[in-house]
RNA sequence: GGGUCUGUAGCUUAGUCAGGUAGAGCACCUGGCUCUUAACCAGGUGGCCGCGGGUUCGAACCCCGUCAGACCCGCCA
């Protein structure tokens, strides 16, 4: 039983994706190894609202200390609204994102679990053994607990769990006094009512025990010595339950901006990320990195490199097949298996063969076409006529990829170095590069392109043949053309680029340079 | 202050648990392909493995120290 969990106290970010994908990949790997595994995703809706976050209106002051599964969701202005509860509000887009990346765990709502009394055995044990529990927490975490510390936080008269102290107990009844001085009792044997919850460090091992968790990935914060995993595994022993195998993972940072944090506004949401990054590429980002290394989520140049790397690896793995070549050193064998696992775990649907068609059109090429062509159908048609696609109908993977690229190009994340600025007038920089010799070449090229067959081959042949004829180094000819068409010294395949432009436009621009 | 993790080529990193001449991708350079740089193929340059000590025939790897970064030891993913 692999468990993951998140508190939906605010907007989910890309960092939470790592929690879930780490669990998912662990689960898939275990399944591939023939084990019986189930993955659950615990939604910590019993956790109290800590404070009025930046995105909340002051009215939420009244809900501090209340479980987030029982308070209203904020509306567009951050005010409490009528529809839905707080936890659900932040969770649902995340669950949507999970579907897109092929993760569908069993959802466990922690608030509901308390309502159903699932935690009662653990609560009772911790109350009985509260001195031992206290000793463990104080010794392992090195922190001193208050004298009135009690292994259960009851809800007070105003619905908040903050500042409520336990004044007595007689299982299943707990007597308390809240911060307003009001006294009351709750009966834990009564289900369907939220009476309160275990403090975090006890809550976690209690979850392990009632759900039967045997393995759990968690962030490095919990994994540090003296952190909640360390106390949790000892507390788990009080419940006669063996703590799950831990898998600590590092955090995802936004390139150049440090750790992700909802409160500081440094965040990219999972759905937002998936509009930019195709799902298999996002999975690959997690799969290719060891869990104990932090990941820079870079939506600039590195995204192209990541996509390229994925495609190259996919191509190589497909080519090498499933049989390992003979005589490999141990290290090479491991590398061979790791390559395969990374590709396998990157697939959105477990057990499916990756669509190789997608690799026949590189991410780069598609990024170029998307900048030149407005209609998707034009792009598929063009890819078909240029021989990249067998039919004018793209695979769903490829279609999804194009839609991501379009969003990416329109966003602030798209790197300027890749942005194509097709020129309609020759720029000053372009003219500087035009020698008398080049002028003759361009003149001849314009004439040739005016009537030659409009295909990448013919265009390319014209460029090359005339360059030789006019004794211009081929490389220089291309640089010259890049200056003329893009106002920079580099670019995508020239013939592919020109092929995508209207012939008249190409000829007119060349003519403009010649007569300038 | 105490503790955990990380530090390897310009960049991203494998290798550290089981010590045996440092591997890869990107970038860069050269050559080839009578389809170029955001094509492909072949080859190449580039590493005091953070620093100092110790153990060992032998250390990126084990031990001690030290520096730098992240995180935990207050609530909290």
Mean of pLDDT values over A456-464 = 84
The nucleotide whose C1' lies nearest the CA of A478 is: B36
The nucleotide whose C1' lies nearest the CA of A225 is: B4
CA A139 / C1′ B18 distance in Å: 34
**Bridge pairing between strands A252-254 and A72-74:** unpaired
The nucleotide whose C1' lies nearest the CA of A362 is: B38
Phi, psi of A170 (to 5 degrees): -155, 90
Question: Can you read off the two tokens belonging to residue A149?
Answer: 């510390």
Tell me: pLDDT of A360 over 80.
no
Cα separation, A228 vs A140, in Å, equals 9
Comparing every residue's Cα with the C1' atom of nucleotide B39, the nearest one is A493
CB contact set of A325 (below 8 Å; sequence gap of 6+): none
Comparing every residue's Cα with the C1' atom of nucleotide B25, the nearest one is A309
Q: What is the DSSP string of A130-173?
A: HHHHHHHHHHHH--PPPTT--S-EE--TTS--TT-EEEEEETTE
**Bridge pairing between strands A80-85 and A173-177:** unpaired
Cα separation, A212 vs A166, in Å, equals 29
Instruction: Write down the pLDDT at residue A435.
Output: 80
Of all residues in chain A, the percent with pLDDT exceeding 90 is: 39
Cα separation, A173 vs A183, in Å, equals 13
CA A294 / C1′ B6 distance in Å: 9
The nucleotide whose C1' lies nearest the CA of A311 is: B25
* pLDDT tens by residue, A94-150: 999 999 999 989 999 999 999 999 999 999 999 999 999 999 988 888 778 888 899
* pLDDT tens by residue, A361-397: 778 888 888 888 888 888 888 787 777 777 788 888 8
Task: Match 């479980």 to its residue by tokens.
Answer: A67
The nucleotide whose C1' lies nearest the CA of A490 is: B37
Look up the pTM and report it.
0.90
CA A455 / C1′ B1 distance in Å: 72
* pLDDT tens by residue, A53-65: 888 899 999 999 9
Q: Which nucleotides of chain B have an atom under 7 angstroms from any protein CB?
A: 1-6, 12-15, 25-26, 34-39, 70-77
Tell me: pLDDT of A330 over 80.
no
CA A348 / C1′ B53 distance in Å: 51
> How many Cα atoms are found within 13 Å in the side-chain-facing hemisphere of A39?
22
CB contact set of A377 (below 8 Å; sequence gap of 6+): A392
Cα separation, A468 vs A474, in Å, equals 7
CA A40 / C1′ B65 distance in Å: 45
CB contact set of A115 (below 8 Å; sequence gap of 6+): A191, A192, A193, A194
């Amino acid at each position: 039983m692999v468990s993951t969990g998140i508190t939906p106290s605010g907007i989910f970010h890309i960092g939470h994706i790592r929690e879930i994908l780490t669990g998912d990949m662990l689960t898939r790997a275990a399944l591939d190894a023939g084990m019986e595994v189930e993955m659950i995703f615990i939604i910590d809706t019993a956790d109290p609202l800590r404070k009025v976050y930046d995105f909340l209106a002051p009215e939420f002051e009244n809900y501090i200390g209340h479980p987030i599964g029982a308070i209203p969701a904020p509306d567009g202005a951050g005010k409490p609204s009528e529809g839905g509860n707080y936890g659900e509000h932040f969770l649902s887009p995340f669950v949507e994102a999970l579907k897109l990346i092929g993760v569908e765990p069993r959802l466990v709502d922690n608030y509901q679990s308390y309502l159903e009394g699932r935690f009662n055995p653990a609560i009772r044990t911790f109350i009985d053994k509260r001195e031992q529990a206290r000793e463990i927490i104080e010794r392992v975490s090195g922190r001193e607990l208050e004298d009135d510390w009690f292994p259960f936080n009851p809800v007070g008269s105003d619905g908040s769990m903050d500042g409520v102290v336990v004044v007595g107990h007689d299982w299943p009844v707990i007597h308390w006094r809240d911060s307003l001085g009001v006294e009351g009792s709750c009966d834990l044997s009564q289900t369907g009512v939220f009476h309160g919850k275990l403090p975090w460090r006890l809550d976690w091992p209690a979850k392990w025990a009632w759900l039967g968790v045997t393995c759990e990935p968690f962030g490095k914060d919990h994994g540090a010595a003296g952190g909640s995993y360390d106390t949790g595994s000892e507390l788990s022993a009080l419940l006669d339950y063996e703590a799950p195998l831990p898998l600590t993972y590092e955090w995802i940072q936004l390139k150049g901006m440090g750790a992700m944090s909802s409160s500081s506004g440094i965040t990219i949401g999972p759905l937002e990320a998936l509009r930019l990054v195709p799902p298999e590429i996002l999975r690959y980002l997690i799969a290719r990195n060891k869990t104990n290394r932090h990941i820079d989520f870079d939506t600039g140049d590195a995204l192209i490199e990541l996509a390229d790397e994925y495609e190259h690896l996919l191509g190589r793995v497909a080519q090498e097949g499933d049989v390992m070549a003979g005589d490999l050193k141990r290290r090479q064998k491991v590398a061979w298996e790791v390559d395969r696992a990374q590709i396998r775990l990157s697939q959105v649907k477990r057990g499916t063969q990756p669509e190789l068609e997608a690799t026949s059109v590189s991410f780069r090429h598609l990024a170029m076409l998307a900048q030149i062509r407005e209609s998707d159908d034009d792009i598929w048609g063009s890819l078909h006529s240029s021989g990249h696609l067998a039919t004018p109908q793209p695979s769903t993977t490829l279609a999804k990829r194009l839609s991501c690229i379009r969003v990416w190009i329109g966003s602030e994340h798209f790197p300027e170095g890749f942005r194509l600025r097709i020129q309609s007038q020759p720029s000053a920089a372009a003219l500087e590069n035009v020698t008398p010799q080049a002028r003759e070449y361009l003149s001849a090229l314009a004439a040739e392109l005016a009537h030659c067959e409009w295909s990448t081959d013919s265009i390319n042949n014209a460029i090359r043949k005339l360059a030789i004829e006019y004794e211009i180094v081929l490389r220089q000819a291309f640089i010259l053309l890049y200056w003329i068409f893009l106002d920079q010294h580099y670019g995508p395949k020239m013939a592919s680029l020109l092929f995508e432009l209207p012939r008249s436009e190409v000829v007119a621009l060349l003519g403009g340079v010649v007569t300038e």
